Amino acid sequence: MRDVFEEIFSLEELAEPPDPMESARRNMRALKGRFYVDAGVKEEAEGFAIVLDGRPIRTPVRRALAAPRRGLAESIAAEWRAQERFIDPAAMPLTRLANTIIDGVAAARDEVEGEIVKYLGSDLVCYRAASPAGLVARQALHWDPIIAWARDALGADFTVVEGVMHAAQPADAISAARAHIPRDSWRLGATHAITTLAGSALIALAVAAGAIGRDAAWAAAHVDEDWNMDFWGRDEPALARRAYRFGEMVAATQVLAEVEA
């Protein structure tokens, strides 16, 4: 039990595989066999700990795997119960996110916040196509409400430009949006995860604030990709990567829902 996470959730496994199909093949050669009968939750000093056959388990850097809310801990335990003959980390996005938050975010809140702020300086939703008209309209449909929400709800008036050349955003807009980045390590970690998945801190902040839902955020994050697939056809490897990333999105939005501000 002591080396469970070192063996199953190596630091490399906490990152998104560059190619899910290759990762799946590699994992089938390296997956560890299920060694426990049941997974559950036990209230401890650290919160609601996930236990295997009644014994607490730890993250890759030896901290207790525990969530601040019972419902969230039960969902993590459910990932462990769902494993069959082998334990597949790729099928356990909540566990991976919990590891990241406990081992990384909790001790580096300022650094994680700073990474989100970097996205605010060049946010996806601020850069628009000049043509074709259909893409311009689709970007406006998904992104204009987020820009308006940031202006009206956060007091952050971001500049929208055509093209991909960097345009500096007003310092007061970035500062106003930054003030709404969660400080709780679980909400901060989930917001950071959505930021990197969406390529947009404004989309992530809107989700964290409850201004848009998961599916709307996911659609907004993939406007350009969806347009290209509509025009050129489906890209199966890209869709496989996207499915993996959507699991990460589901986990992050669940954390935000379970751990209230």
Can you list the alpha helix ranges (DSSP code H) found in 104-235?
A: 109-120, 133-154, 171-178, 185-198, 201-208, 214-221, 223-232
pLDDT digit string, tens, across residues 142-154: 999 999 999 999 9
The C-alpha angle 101, 105, 109, rounded to 5 degrees, equals 145
Q: Provide the whole-model pTM.
A: 0.89
Q: Is the pLDDT reported for residue 20 higher than 60?
A: no
Q: Where are the domains of the chain?
A: 4-91, 107-258
Q: Is the pLDDT reported for residue 11 higher than 60?
A: no
Q: What is the average pLDDT score of the chain?
A: 90
| Residues of the chain above pLDDT 90, percent | 80
Quick one: 4-91 is in which CATH superfamily? Answer: ATP12-like (3.30.2180.10)
| Residues of the chain above pLDDT 70, percent | 88
What tokens does 112 get? 């994680």
| Half-sphere exposure in the Cβ direction for 22 (13 Å, CA) | 5
Kindly list the distances between the CA atom of residue 141 and the CA atoms of 135, 136, 153, 171, in Å, as whole numbers in the listed order.
10, 9, 19, 26
In sequence order, the 6+-apart residues with CB closer than 8 A to the CB of 149 are 206, 211, 212
CATH architecture of the domain with residue range 107-258: Orthogonal Bundle (1.10)
Nearest to 65, CA basis, from 84, 80, 83: 80
User: Which residue is associated with the tokens 């560059």?
Assistant: 18
Q: Is the pLDDT reported for residue 16 higher than 50?
A: no
Round to whole Å and give the CA distance between 163 and 37. Answer: 55
What tokens does 244 get? 């993996």
Nearest to 60, CA basis, from 11, 97, 15, 120: 11
Q: Is the pLDDT reported for residue 225 higher than 90?
A: yes
What tokens does 160 get? 């929208």
pLDDT digit string, tens, across residues 178-207: 999 999 999 999 999 999 999 999 999 999
Q: Note the pLDDT of residue 168.
A: 94
